[in-house]
Every structure is written in C-alpha cells, then in structure tokens.
Chain A
Amino acid sequence: MKAITLRQVFGETLLELAEIKKDIVVLDADISKSTFSCLFHQKYKDRAYNLGIAEQNMLGVAAGMASTGIPVFATTYAVFASMRALEQIRTFICYPQLNVKVVASHGGLQVSSDGVSHQGTEDLAIMRSLPNMTVLHPADPVSTRELVFAAAGYDGPMYIRLLRNEVPVIYKKDVSFTIGQGNIVKDSKQAQCTIVATGLMVEKSLRASEILEKEGIDVRVLDIHTIKPLDQDLIISSAKKTGVVVTVEDHNIIGGLGGAVAEILGREYPVPIEMVGINDTFGESGDPEELFTNYQMNIEHIVAAVKNSIARR
C-alpha cells in the first residue's frame, strides 16, 4: 500500500462498512469531499445527510438520531468538531453515551498551508477531557482501516482524529488493532527509552529510532492509537523496562498524548519524560515538513529528546 491520506482510507472503509452495517447513517457539514464520506453519500443517498456549514446543528442532529438507536458517523474538521461543536458533543452525545462517531480530519500542523484556522492542534486535549469519550488517532492507512472497523463495532461516543495529508504505511496487513491497546512497533532487549507516539509521529519516531540505533541507542516505540482510554499497562510496563519516556505528537504538548502519559506515570511510576509536540503555540501556513522542523517536532528533535531523556536518568 502506498502513502495515502487517512481521510481517504476512512471514506473507503466507511463504504465497506455500509454494506455490512446497514443501519449506519452519515452526517456531513459541507466538507464530505474532503473527509471522503462523499463516497458514502453517492452510494447511499437515503442514509446520508449533508447539513451544510453548520457543525453545531450537525452534532445536535447526530445526538437526536442516535437517541433512536441509529449508529451515526458525523464528519468535519478537528477544529470545528472540538471547538465549534464541543458543547453539543459534551452535553448531548457524551453525557447520555450516545452512539455517535465524530470523525475529524485535519489534525495537527500536518494540515500545513491552510494555516491556524484549519489546524486542529488542541483537539485531543479537549476531547480527552470529556467523560465517556473514546479518542482514537490512527498512525497509518492500515491501522486507520482496522480502527474504523473497530469503531463501528463499538457502541458509544467516539472521536476519531484523521489527517489532511498523505502518511506512509508502517503496518503490514496482518497486524491486529484493539481500541484501548497500544501497539509495540519497535522493540529491543537493550531499549534505553520508550518513545510513546501517536498519529503520523509514529512513523517519524521509527525513523528516529533507526538513527539512534546507528549511534548505539536502542529504543522501544509505541503506537498509542487510542488516546483515551489510555493503555496504562503498556505505558507503565514500558517505563519500568526502559526507565525514561519521550512522548511525540502533532498536537499541543499540553493535555494531549504527552499530558495523558505524564498523568499516568506521575501517579503510578514517575520517570523522566521529554515531550515532543507543539510547544504551546499556534502554527502557521507552510509545507508540513518545514513546519515540523521549525516547530522542533521533526526526526532530529525526537532523536535529541531521546538523548535528553536518557541523560536525565
């Protein structure tokens, strides 16, 4: 499988799911061509509603529909889902535990040239703070397909963060994914640090690990595709094994994956933690790779963070 956008994988997977789960209804807010749910719209006209540029109404409609027993997928961008329609998600979907999957494309700086208004860089922190919410952020096309299938089999509120631009494949087809369980994507008996990564940063972390390996530093790399509920057992056991941890995310370092990992390790097994992510600032327009470099979130920064964490041991 070649590099492809996760939103396209989502749209194609939704089409597959529609055949199996005939009760799914899809809601959109005028960006179905971007979230690729347009594929579902074209084939299943009577099971799809495009509610126009009105995200609050869309999530309210989602709650009303789900209250009658219909599984709903509602798509928009991370910024609009997590902020403009936040209250609808909180009070009317999460609180009564309704079966709505909020599918949010355009997470992180990877959104690139559209700039800050379209870069969802706080969404994981916001969504993670909602009781009853499950938060997914797949790393690559293979895991996106598997996790969207898993999501469809889960009855309850869920936020699925996708990305605008292409990401490389890191998984082989036969890997299994379970909501709430992280995957160890690289390991070594001599691992001196655990890189806890999510989304496209898993692939960057793997590439960082190759550089480190050449310098004689072995690491364990985790793909935490479920930000909530966090795989506490895996994170604690990894911290015990390697002694230090680096978190890596395309998201504000406050409240997202780094925050979640720090919360659990702070309570259960305190170790030095370095955090790679957006350093509590806003992004800007630009090429994704240039942005990652400028915002100190690229491969060389992951390498440096690993070394810093080991130095703090």
Chain B
Amino acid sequence: MYYFKGEKTTLTRQKLVCKLENQANQLRQDSLKMIYRAGKGHPGGAFSATEIVTALYFSVMKIEPAKPKWPERDRFILSKGHACPVWYAALARRGFFELSHLDTLRQTHSILQGHPVMTKTPGVDINTGSLGNGLSLGLGMALASRNNGFKYNVYVILGDGEIQEGMVWEAAMAAGHFRPANLFAVVDYNGLQNDGFVKDILGLEPLVDKWRAFGWNVKEIDGHNMNEILNGFEWLQKVGGPAVIIAHTVKGKGVSFMENIVEWHGKTPTKEEFELAMEELIVGGGNG
C-alpha cells in the first residue's frame, strides 16, 4: 500500500512512480515560471532536487497541508535553501497556500522569500539560505522529539557544495553520537557549485566513507529515478537514522541546455530560453 498526496492509494508501484514523475515535471515547470517571472533565482539546483522533493511531498512525508503547524508532522529542511522555487511549488501544489503566490516569488511583500523563511511561508519549518546550517537545525528537531513527546521524521536536503561547510560535519558528528533514529539526510550530489565543478573546487570524495566514518548509514541512488528514490526512502525507514542518501543528480536536469552547465546555478532564462525550456519540459512530461 502506497500513499499519494496524503491518501492511501491502491495504485501499483509502477503507476505511483508514473504519477510522481508527472508531478515532478509539473514542479519543474512551476519552478521555471517562478524564476523567469522573478527575474532571479537558481534553476540548476532546483531541478536537480525536483524528484527528491516530489517523492517526499507527494508520497513519503506525513503532513497535513491544512494544519502546517501540526506538531506531529514530518519536518523538511531545504538546507540548500536557494533551491526553494521547487519546494514552494510543491507546497502550493499540496495546498499549503494558493497557487497564485507562486507568481510573487522574491517580490516585495511576498510570502515567498528568495530563501526560505518560516515566519512567512506556511509549510516552511525553519529558515535556511545560509549554507551548512540545515543538518544542525534538523538534528535539533530530531532530538526534540525525545523531549516534546511528538513522533515525526526529519528530512534534510543538503547540497553537495554546501557540505564543504565545517558545521555540517559538526552536526554529522553529533548525530553519529546521539543517534536520532528519526534524522534522515539526502545529499543532492549534482557535482556543481557556484564557481564550477565541486571536484575541481573542493572535492568531497570519498563521500560515502566520510558519512560512514561519522557513524551514519549510507545509500547511493540515482536521484532522478523515482523508483530508486522511493526505494531509498523505504530503506531509511528500515535502517533508521542517522541515515543519509547520496543522490546522484544532474544540475539543471530536464532542460537540455541547462544540464550540467555551471552558469545555470543562478541564471535567469531570457524569454527565448524560457520558451525553449518550457517546450522541452512539456514534451518530456512523462506518460502517467
């Protein structure tokens, strides 16, 4: 038995995967429109995280969009906060707020800030944007469930570049020590950061060994293969936290001319590029 949009569904695994793929495509289109309208944003990292965010918000996480502050909700932390357009799109599509807000990204008085802010956006559990902080914030939430009596899981999405921040490893070490069973991380390993390829700027390898050495359970997946993503999240539940999925992804995934091109980290498409990208996304929109 699987969940789709908070409801138990009789869909087969194959059908569920298909529906989630379509959903991911819609979120990509939403994100692209948002960034194009805002005239600023980070398409590359939003697209690399799209399938992961989709799986969590449309199948895996225990959330109630009508009650964004429900104390027992699963927590989601987008530590790579600049990828927030895809998250905002997921929150809107799940009903945390009206879709019309998506048109206001980064504008004055918008509930959708350039980087996530918990006091402005329903469904955002904590601020992020300054890189390297999310795992500590998630660790705090995860440990808190030992004291506040609420049962929930915490999912932290880390960028690959951001784990160059030392604080991530402070948190990783503390999680290895306190062993919160409800703390799960996903590294969106798209291989690019602002200035270039991660391997050229400050390489992370051997990344699996690093997490293992800090006492974490580790699994590698293809971060765009929905079936592998669902398997990954099932694995997390099985092994328990602290556990991390290293998701191999492609920056700019879904738009041919953005894929694996460093400039699309924080570039806004021109009108022509926007139309071309939308066309590609609509054509490549799955068949579920």
Contacts and interface: CB of A to CB of B under 8 A. Distances in A.
A67 B143 CA distance: 12
B141 interface: yes
Interface stretch (B13-21, B122-130, B234-242, B264-272): B122-130
A97 interface: yes
A63 B125 CA distance: 11
Contacts of B127: 91-92, 95-96
Interface string A30-63: 0000000000000000110101101011011111
B147 A88 contact: no
Given A54-B174, A68-B150, A70-B147, A61 B133 contact: no
Given A64-B126, A65-B141, A87-B130, A95 B117 contact: yes
Interface string B115-158: 00111000001110110010111111111111110100000000
Nearest to A48: B147
A60 B148 contact: no
Given A57-B136, A60-B167, A65 B173 contact: no
Contacts of B39: none
- Give the most central of B125, B133, B138, B142: most A CB within 10 Å: B133
Interface in A65-90: 65-70, 87-88
A56 B167 contact: yes
Nearest to B166: A56
A46 to B, nearest CB: 7
A64 B137 contact: yes
A23 interface: yes
Contact of B137 (A51, A52, A63, A97): A63
Contacts of A59: 136
A70 B148 contact: yes
A62 B138 CA distance: 10
Nearest to B150: A68
B71 A69 contact: yes
Contacts of A62: 140
Given A64-B138, A67-B126, A68-B71, A57 B167 contact: yes
A70 B174 contact: no
B280 to A, nearest CB: 36
A25 interface: yes
B167 A49 contact: no
- Give the most central of A49, A60, A96, A97: most B CB within 10 Å: A60
Contact of A61 (B118, B130, B136): B136
B171 interface: yes
A52 B130 contact: no
A12 to B, nearest CB: 22
A49 B178 contact: yes
Interface residues of A, number: 29
Contacts of B143: 49, 61, 64-65
Contacts of A68: 71, 141, 144-145, 148, 150
Given A52-B173, A57-B171, A96-B119, A64 B139 contact: yes
Interface residues of B, number: 33
Contacts of A97: 119
Contacts of B71: 68-69
Contact of B141 (A25, A52, A64): A64
Contacts of A95: 117, 119, 127
B170 interface: yes
B102 to A, nearest CB: 23
Contacts of B125: 67
Contacts of B130: 87, 91
B238 to A, nearest CB: 25
Contacts of B150: 68
A57 B142 CA distance: 14
A236 to B, nearest CB: 33
A63 to B, nearest CB: 6
A65 B136 contact: no
B194 to A, nearest CB: 19
Nearest to B77: A64
Nearest to B168: A57
Interface string A10-27: 000000000000010100
A61 B140 contact: yes
A170 to B, nearest CB: 37
A63 B117 CA distance: 13
B246 to A, nearest CB: 21
Interface in A178-231: none
A62 B142 CA distance: 11
A101 B4 CA distance: 41
A96 B129 CA distance: 13
Contacts of B173: 52, 54
- Give the most central of A47, A54, A87, A88: most B CB within 10 Å: A54
Contacts of B148: 23, 68-70
- Give the most central of B126, B135, B143, B147: most A CB within 10 Å: B147
A61 B170 CA distance: 11
21 contacts: A52-B174, A54-B170, A56-B167, A56-B170, A57-B139, A60-B137, A64-B136, A64-B137, A64-B143, A65-B147, A67-B126, A67-B140, A68-B150, A69-B148, A70-B144, A70-B147, A92-B126, A92-B133, A96-B117, A96-B118, A96-B119
5 cross-chain pairs, A with B, having the tightest CB-CB distances, nearest first: A64-B140, A60-B136, A57-B170, A61-B140, A54-B170
Given A52-B174, A67-B125, 5 more contacts: A60-B139, A63-B126, A63-B140, A64-B126, A92-B126
